A and B are shown apart, each in its own frame.
Chain A
Amino acid sequence: MFALLRKDLQIEFRTKETLASLLLLGLLTLVVLSFAFDPTSELRSEAAPGALWVAVIFAGVLGLNRSFLAERENDCMQGILLCPVDRGTIYLAKTAGNFVFMMVAQLFIVPIFIFFFNLAVTPALGAVFLTLALGVLGFAAIGTLFAAISVRTRAREVLLPLLMLPLVVPIFIAGVRITGHLLAGKPLAEVAPWMNLMVGFDAIFLIVGWLVFEYAVEE
């Protein structure tokens, strides 16, 4: 598993293609969404958590789409499937790789977000990062499974968001709720049920993905 993960990370850090496009898309989403709200209005800070999560989702879908493209183009998937490991292990390695990419992207997207939405830099941001990590893990768990599927259909890139977005609705709602709460300066304990929901979602779909991944990649 770690060999597979290292392979993905190595390719990425040599080319930096996915990461660069992820970052740019995240940045663009935040800029475009900034135009959606009057810069002087009160509504702006209300809408901030939503804007952040939309940026995370868009960037995530893009990154996930790319994660199996390279394997397909050079027929590397065959090689990976020939590895003497369980299909579930391949899934976990791929998910971990996607999770790392998306989290690295967050390290850049969140400061841009703070910058554009004029937010105070407070210790609450640590908790925001924790929330993002949980959310991104959920996206990666669902997204890796369906990216493996969508890359081998005729529709390819178009299909992944269609499959994925309805399924990650709980993550999105929970993420926006918790982030809004934290940015308003309230303690994390008050949103504990939402945190539990996210943790539960992540755990369930990591297990489901691990179980059914073999059907998604079988020839």
Chain B
Amino acid sequence: MRRFADTILPAATFVVMVAALYMVFVYVPSDREQGIIQRVFYFHVPLAIMGFVAFGTVAVASILFLWRGTRVWDRLAHSAAEVGMVFCSLVLITGPIWARPAWGTWWTWDARLTTTLILWLIYAAYLMLRSVSGPGDQGARYAAVLGIVGAVDIPIINRSVYWWRTIHPAVLVTRTGGTGLSDPRMQATFGICFLAFFLLFLLLLKVRNESFRLRDALDELHQQALTSS
């Protein structure tokens, strides 16, 4: 297990990521209607999916932390929130890059876009809360409370922004691009990209988790040194 995490995972991530880049930029044909810009989809969608997985992980780990009280779950929640934040930010950057040529606007208050933005804000606040409440169990509990409340809130937010947009006259026909991945090369590219970002997610999660674990261990040693001296 250790060996897998330390050597195989980074190597596999590297190889698959290079393959994904090659496929996106060279191998896959451009979309007939949307042209070259459609290629951003191969990054955008896997990032979005893994971002949601990350925030789901935060919620589950938060519940387990409050229930069990072991630091393991707190570290997992914290690292998942950080990685999710990176992925969610990239989704919010790659989205407008595609939307500007395809929709003619950087941003539209479509339900999916709005939910992602609010999600980003909630987890930005989550990391903020982490940084101002310092290490230790108290800060961890606070973060877990937000992790749970946030997760409960997301379906409601989604519902409300969905209604908000449908009751409002829609300026644009909101349609996510690239639903028609008819070409098998496109499907293969998407599969490889998804795998690449899945591995990247695991790798980043592992790296952050490891550094939090070391920090906790260091804190403990510090504490011991203080009490013994």
- Chain A contacts to B: CB under 8 angstroms: 142, 145-146, 149-150, 152-155, 159, 162-163, 165-167, 169-170, 173-174, 177, 193-194, 197, 200-201, 204-205, 208, 212, 215-216, 218-219
A169 & B118 in contact (Cβ 8 Å cutoff): yes
A170 & B159 in contact (Cβ 8 Å cutoff): yes
Q: In whole angstroms, how far apart are the Cα atoms of A219 and B142 in the complex?
A: 11
Contacts of B163 in A (CB 8 A): 173, 193-194, 197
Instruction: Specify which of A145, A165, A177, A219 is in contact with B164 (CB 8 Å cutoff).
Output: A177
B66 & A215 in contact (Cβ 8 Å cutoff): yes
A197 & B142 in contact (Cβ 8 Å cutoff): no
- Answer whether residue B178 sits at the interface, using C-beta atoms and an 8 A cutoff: no
Contacts of A194 in B (CB 8 A): 163
Q: A170-B156, A204-B152, A204-B156 are in contact. Are A163 and B161 (CB under 8 A)?
A: no
Interface residue total, chain B, C-beta cutoff 8 A = 31
Q: Which of B11-19, B129-137, B185-193, B215-223 contacts A (4 or more CB under 8 A)?
A: B129-137
A–B Cβ pairs within 8 angstroms, 8 of them: A149-B146, A153-B132, A153-B142, A163-B129, A166-B122, A169-B160, A177-B164, A200-B156
B141 & A215 in contact (Cβ 8 Å cutoff): yes
A163 & B144 in contact (Cβ 8 Å cutoff): no
Instruction: Specify which of B146, B156, B164 is in contact with A146 (CB 8 Å cutoff).
Output: B146
B150 & A167 in contact (Cβ 8 Å cutoff): yes
- Answer whether residue B157 sits at the interface, using C-beta atoms and an 8 A cutoff: yes
Closest chain-A Cβ to B59's Cβ sits at a distance in Å of 12
Contacts of A153 in B (CB 8 A): 129, 132-133, 139, 142
Q: A159-B132, A215-B141, A218-B141 are in contact. Are A166 and B164 (CB under 8 A)?
A: no
B149 & A208 in contact (Cβ 8 Å cutoff): yes
Contacts of A193 in B (CB 8 A): 163
Instruction: Specify which of A152, A159, A166 is in contact with B121 (CB 8 Å cutoff).
Output: A166
Q: A145-B145, A173-B161 are in contact. List 10 more A-B contacts (CB 8 A).
A: A153-B142, A154-B134, A169-B118, A170-B156, A173-B160, A197-B159, A208-B148, A215-B142, A215-B145, A216-B145
Instruction: Specify which of B149, B152, B160 is in contact with A197 (CB 8 Å cutoff).
Output: B160
9 tightest CB-CB pairs across the interface, nearest first? Answer: A170-B160, A166-B121, A155-B132, A153-B132, A215-B141, A153-B133, A154-B132, A162-B125, A166-B122
